[in-house]
């Protein structure tokens, strides 16, 4: 069984910080400037919130490639256990294929630790939220992160479509929280940024970097540097619905579903046409299964709501499949069946 921090999966060594900052509890409210130079230019300890396929992939690459100490947070112990079993499989596979860059697998594994709550992340340099595409859930998480993490910590989201500016606006310490007297709402929002990783994270070389309206230059610079330390190529997008990738991809997938729904062609012929005729490595319906049909639906709904443009209206079939629990590869059934 896993436990909260203190009883961990594996021993772990946290590298000493090069700078500490003490603020007297009796001092007047002290704020951190959004351009404050103590934002770490080298991230040593990372928190990841969420142990779905994205969170696990991000945590693994952060530990393996960036060589950061990683605290993987989920309130569900069973989910944490399953997650670490998955990471162990990835590590064993990469070790057999000599993809660890000469590292001992045990050293990579020691950098990963399970924790059960956001307060356990209080000393990280950067946190990456990787939960489902739900604005209210993300706002709640970022309010809690702002309330417990050091003023110097960067708060990032792996959202694939939700406005980073809305998320940043929620990153305000609660009045009764440990950090309320240490950082202003303005400066707390300035440390929020978006990372949009692609699935599977250990394989896909790209990350989209998205600054909120409030994001400071130092936050953006540190985030870009860490993404590069993870071995990723970085592209940057404005905080616009769907950013670049999903603004283009989701209407394409949705149109493929509409073609299937209207009986123009079978799922196999739709996917084969795009693979063999357009050189795509995977057809749009199979790709939707791998992304997760619930994720595709959530992104389409966000695009429609944020832009008001009916071209983003999701197909009826997509909504019905999600309602039926046919979510794609992760549920075993989507447009195709998976075992």
Whether 41 is a known active-site residue: answer no
CB 256 within 8 A of CB 285: yes
Asked if residues 158 and 128 have their Cβ atoms less than 8 Å apart, the reply is: yes
186 is catalytic: no
Kindly tell me the number of DSSP H helices and DSSP E strands found in the chain.
Answer: 13, 8
Active site residue 246: yes
Which of the residues 196, 216, 218, 315 is marked catalytic? 196
158 in active site:
no
> Per the residue annotation, which of 156, 184, 208, 254 is the catalytic one?
208
The total of other beta-carbon atoms located within 10 Å of residue 337's CB is: 10
Contacts of residue 237, Cβ cutoff 8 Å, sequence gap at least 6: 208, 209, 210, 243, 244
From the candidates 160, 163, 184, 188, give the one annotated as an active-site residue.
160
Closest CA to 79 of 45, 61, 44, 55: 55
d(CA 106, CA 104): 5
Tell me how far CA of residue 51 lies from CA of 54, 71, 72, 91, 331, in angstroms: 7, 11, 7, 16, 16
Catalytic residues: 160, 196, 208, 246
């Amino acid at each position: 069984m896993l436990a909260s921090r203190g009883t961990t999966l594996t021993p772990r060594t946290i590298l000493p910080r090069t700078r500490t900052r003490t603020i007297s509890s009796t001092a007047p409210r002290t704020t951190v400037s959004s351009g404050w130079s103590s934002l770490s230019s080298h991230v040593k300890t990372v928190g990841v919130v969420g142990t779905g396929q994205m969170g696990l992939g991000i945590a693994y690459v952060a530990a393996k490639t960036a060589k950061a100490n990683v605290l993987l947070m989920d309130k569900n112990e069973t989910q944490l256990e399953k997650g670490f079993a998955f990471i162990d499989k990835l590590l064993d596979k990469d070790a057999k294929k000599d993809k660890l860059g000469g590292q001992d697998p045990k050293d990579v594994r020691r950098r990963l630790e399970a924790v059960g709550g956001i307060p356990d992340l209080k000393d990280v340099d950067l946190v990456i939220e990787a939960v489902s595409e739900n604005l209210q859930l993300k706002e709640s998480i970022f309010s809690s992160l702002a309330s417990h993490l050091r003023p110097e910590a960067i708060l990032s989201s792996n959202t694939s479509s939700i406005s980073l500016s809305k998320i940043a606006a929620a990153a305000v310490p609660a009045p009764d929280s440990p950090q309320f007297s240490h950082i202003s709402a303005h400066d707390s929002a300035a440390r929020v940024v978006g990372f949009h990783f692609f699935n599977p994270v250990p394989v896909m070389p790209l990350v989209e970097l998205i600054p909120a309206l409030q994001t400071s230059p130092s936050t953006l610079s540190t985030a870009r540097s860490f993404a590069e330390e993870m071995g990723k190529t970085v592209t940057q997008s404005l905080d616009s619905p769907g950013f670049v990738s999903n603004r283009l991809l989701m209407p394409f997938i949705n149109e493929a579903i509409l073609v299937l729904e209207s009986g123009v062609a079978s799922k196999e012929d739709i996917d084969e046409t795009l693979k063999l005729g357009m050189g795509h490595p995977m057809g749009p319906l199979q790709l939707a299964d791998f992304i997760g049909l619930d994720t595709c639906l959530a992104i389409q709904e966000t695009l429609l709501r944020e832009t008001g443009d009916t071209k983003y209206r999701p197909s009826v079939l997509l909504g019905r499949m999600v309602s039926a629990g046919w979510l794609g590869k992760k549920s075993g059934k989507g447009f195709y069946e998976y075992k």
